[in-house]
Structure 1
Amino acid sequence: MEQNWFFPPHEGIRLGDLADRLGAELSDVSAADRAIHAVAPVYRAKPGDVCYMLSRKNRDELETCQASAIICDKAIASIVPHTIPVLLAAKPHTAFALAGALLHENAMRPSYNTSERGIAPGAFVDPTARLEAGVEVEPTAVVGAGAEVGSGTRIAAGAVIGPGVRIGRDCTISAGASILCALVGNNVIIHPGARIGQDGFGYAPGPRGGMIKIVQVGRVIIQDHVEIGANTTIDRGTMDDTVIGEGTKIDNLVQIGHNVRIGRYCGIVSQVGIAGSTRIGDGVMIGGNAGVNGHISIGDGAQIAAMSGVASDVPAGERYGGIPARPMKDFLRDIAEMAMRASERQKKKGGKDE
């Protein structure tokens, strides 16, 4: 890949210092003074790069690897060429994530769209809004009446912060995002085009066969260190609040309905839809394109496989998959039985043709 000017290399971190920062053991201490500038995949890593390996199945990529170091665990360290120093880590994936954050700090949040700092002349900030020192508002962004924004927060071009919204400190509100009827904590990242706090989908049967809109007067509460992906939508509550717990990470193109409560440190992957009034515990992982029924509970630490349909409660710590979602062992057994039956039908069909 040609030089990437969007994310230029770091000025350099000593390999020995990097090992200390990652809590890793450097296999060759004589290489401690090597300068590390960037991360790269194994197959095209060059001097100055650090990469990582999680499995022996990628060993062929080492043939073209010229990295200054490879992060891995002791189980696969022996397959790394002796010319490449190894950073031994108990959790290589985590160590590599930390290395990436050190070497490419500017890639950890959406970047600035203009070179201006402070309140841009082309921004509109209502006179009644309260912005702490150090807030940045880019051109065409709107901050509504009575809104409050904490220091270190950046509101990008075209974003809309509605009346009365509260946003904490050191947040990034990306281009084209809208935040209405919401309270946002500290260190929150909201990616481009996200829609937060619009009214939810609620209707009652009308007297003549149509539908009457149910008023939505709740809020959205987003706690600290949450990240919300591009074009994700989070509806405000009907009368209670929609809540996103501390440290939860939400991918692009996720729909979260009104009154949903999501716990702390959850991971929700793209194209998940969560219907209204669902309760999701702490540490829950939901795979891509899963659908979650309304008014159910998913317990702490549960895992939902991709493309599942969750129709009823999921106990804490369980792994569910399929449509309807059921315990993973049952789902896998059903899949195996269906495959076996299909094979038997094919054999019978082949026998008749003969």
Structure 2
Amino acid sequence: MTTYTISEINTILKGELIGNTTEKITGPEQLQSAKSNHISFIGSQKYLKYWADSKACAVVVNDNIKIEPSDNRAIIKVKNADLAMAKILELFNPPPPVFDTDIHPTTVIHDTAKIGSGCKIGPNCYVGKDVELGNNVILYPNVCVFDETIIGDNTVIWSGTVIRERCIIGSHCIFHTNVSIGADGFGYRPSDDGRGLVKIPQIGNVIIGHYVEIGANSCVDRAKFSSTIVGDGCKIDNLVQIAHNSIMGRSCIMAGHSGLAGSVTLGDGVIIGGSASIKDHTTIHSGATVGAGSGVVGDVEAGKTVLGYPAQDARDMLKQWVAMRQFMKKQ
């Protein structure tokens, strides 16, 4: 079992240590559930009330929170408790699943595929014609990478993920279970005789930048022509839909159940809340935020926060909700 002293943890966090504990810390835990060998976190004043009754031997807090240590319990004050928590979680992060062999004998790899050094490929994977895997790529069991796809160094792809042909994936990406990259975009038109639907061929691809993380069961569809693009550093939650020909800038965030319709453009640093939906051919400029559950039907200015359905300036929408509540109370 991995353990640390409070001094060792503070050396990593570079915080202000107040008080002391002789307990060997075996991991982090929330205040209400912590045992005497746990360290916990307080990033907001509203959680301070749980400290007195918590059994945690130590707590990491934002430096603007007033808190006192007690017997055999220590406090580490830091600028940002959430970022400190990420460092501590990394300390106690269990190792990934073990590969008994670097490339499992049940894997099917086309003769023309190029496999970089240090790659690990699990059971029942498929690597197609002219695929290129960079160095230290990991494909967990049951991953399919189809023809002419390129994957950069140190990218990790979890089980069940399918990457269709001609996609370009950057380095240091993480795709969680059952991600779909490069499936056909959703394109149909009524037939001339009005008796059916004609499928529009989707002949483009998907380009994904470096350090992108995509959550389980999310989909990034290939472009009708040209490319669907996910920029460097984007973080995409579970169950997210990114439709054909959409373009995401750098370091965008999309929370679960949100979706981009076709040909949506996001600038850099855009945040899309959970279950928000963005109409096709809409542009959301850099630094804008879309609130959870919102429906965006028009362009959003840079740095603006929108909310509601249809989405509008968040302050205006909140005023409308207050007015509506007051009106309902009078009825």
Q: TM-score range by the shorter chain?
A: over 0.9
Q: Percent of aligned positions with the same letter in both sequences?
A: 31
In structure 2, distance between residues paired with 1:49 and 1:120: 39
In structure 1, distance between residues paired with 2:190 and 2:315: 41
- How much does 1:213 deviate? 1.7
Which one-letter code corresponds to 1:187 in the other structure? H
1:325 equivalent in alignment to 2:311: yes
Which one-letter code corresponds to 2:86 in the other structure? A
The residue number in structure 1 matching 2:202 is: 216
The residue number in structure 2 matching 1:158 is: 142
In structure 2, distance between residues paired with 1:82 and 1:319: 46
In structure 2, distance between residues paired with 1:268 and 1:82: 44
Please, which moves more after superposition, 50-59 or 126-135?
50-59
CA contact (8 A) 2:206 2:223 kept: yes
In structure 2, distance between residues paired with 1:201 and 1:71: 48
Q: How does 1:249-264 map to 2 (within 5 A)?
A: 249-264=235-250
Structure 1-normalised TM-score? Answer: 0.88
In structure 2, distance between residues paired with 1:225 and 1:177: 17
Distance 1:299 1:105, change over 3 A: farther
CA contact (8 A) 1:273 1:290 kept: yes
In structure 2, distance between residues paired with 1:262 and 1:221: 10
Q: CA RMSD in A?
A: 1.7
CA contact (8 A) 2:115 2:135 kept: yes
- How much does 1:174 deviate? 0.6
Structure 2-normalised TM-score? Answer: 0.94
The residue number in structure 2 matching 1:352 is: none
- How much does 1:193 deviate? 0.6
CA contact (8 A) 2:43 2:80 kept: no
CA contact (8 A) 1:66 1:84 kept: no
The residue number in structure 2 matching 1:16 is: 7
- In the alignment, structure 2 segments of 5+ residues that lack a partner are none
The residue number in structure 2 matching 1:307 is: 293
CA contact (8 A) 1:59 1:79 kept: no
In structure 1, distance between residues paired with 2:155 and 2:293: 32
In structure 2, distance between residues paired with 1:55 and 1:260: 37
- The partner residue of 1:185 within 170, 175, 194 is 170
More helix by share: 1
In structure 1, distance between residues paired with 2:68 and 2:188: 61
- The partner residue of 1:27 within 15, 18, 21 is 18
In structure 2, distance between residues paired with 1:201 and 1:195: 14
In structure 1, distance between residues paired with 2:40 and 2:232: 30
1:86 equivalent in alignment to 2:75: yes
1:76 equivalent in alignment to 2:60: no
SS at match of 1:216: coil
Any idea what the Cα deviations from partners look like across 1:48-103, whole Å, max 9, x if unmatched?
32210123332343244232321102332425546421111111111111211122
